[in-house]
Amino acid sequence: MNLGSKHKPDTAFSLASMTDIVFLLLIFFMLTSNFITPSGLPVTLPSSKSNTIVIPKITVSITKDLQFAVNDRKVGEAMVEQALTEAIKATNSEENVVVLHIDKEVPVQYLVRVAGVATQLKAKVSIATKPE
């Protein structure tokens, strides 16, 4: 008398649904992550021991030959304030962060001038550096 079943359960595990979940998670994290874009002008940043990363919404770049750019748009020195005002209005954010990408050979007076303009516009100012 044979009481055993003729149908034995399949013990193989299918990984197809697991790979679908992994790919969906990969796509989700790629779409929701923030990418940090470098400034448009070639700038040699000074080094620092600080490792705080600020996600820039507005960037101001000054090269060693004193070329100015606001959000990768080249402007003259006299037009920095106007371009910065337009960029801050365009973000429509209550907390504006202006990241300064200033070449290490640029005199400090230019850094102070641009930081003063950003502060007058009620924006937080951060200076971009490279790690040591």
Span 12-35, pLDDT tens digits: 777 788 889 999 999 888 887 766
Where residue 107 falls (left for φ over 0; alpha for ψ -120 to 50; beta otherwise) is beta
With 0.75 as the threshold, say if the pTM is over it. no
pLDDT of residue 124: 85
What CATH class has 47-131?
alpha beta
The two tokens of residue 124 are 């937080």
Instruction: Give the model's pLDDT for residue 23.
Output: 92
Rounded-to-integer distance, Cα 114 and Cα 106, Å: 12
pLDDT means per 10 residues, the chain with 132 residues, are 70 82 89 64 66 71 89 87 87 81 88 89 82 72
Q: Mark out the alpha helices in 34-107 (DSSP H runs).
A: 80-91
What's residue 77's pLDDT?
85
- Which residue type occupies 125? V
Work out the widest C-alpha separation in the chain, in whole angstroms: 100
**CB neighbours of residue 80 within 10 Å:** 20
The predicted pLDDT at position 25 comes to 92
pLDDT at 22: 92
State phi, psi for 48 to the nearest 5 degrees.
-150, 155
Q: How far apart are the first and last CA of the chain?
A: 81
- CB 77: neighbour CB atoms within 10 A? 13
- Predicted pLDDT at 34: 62
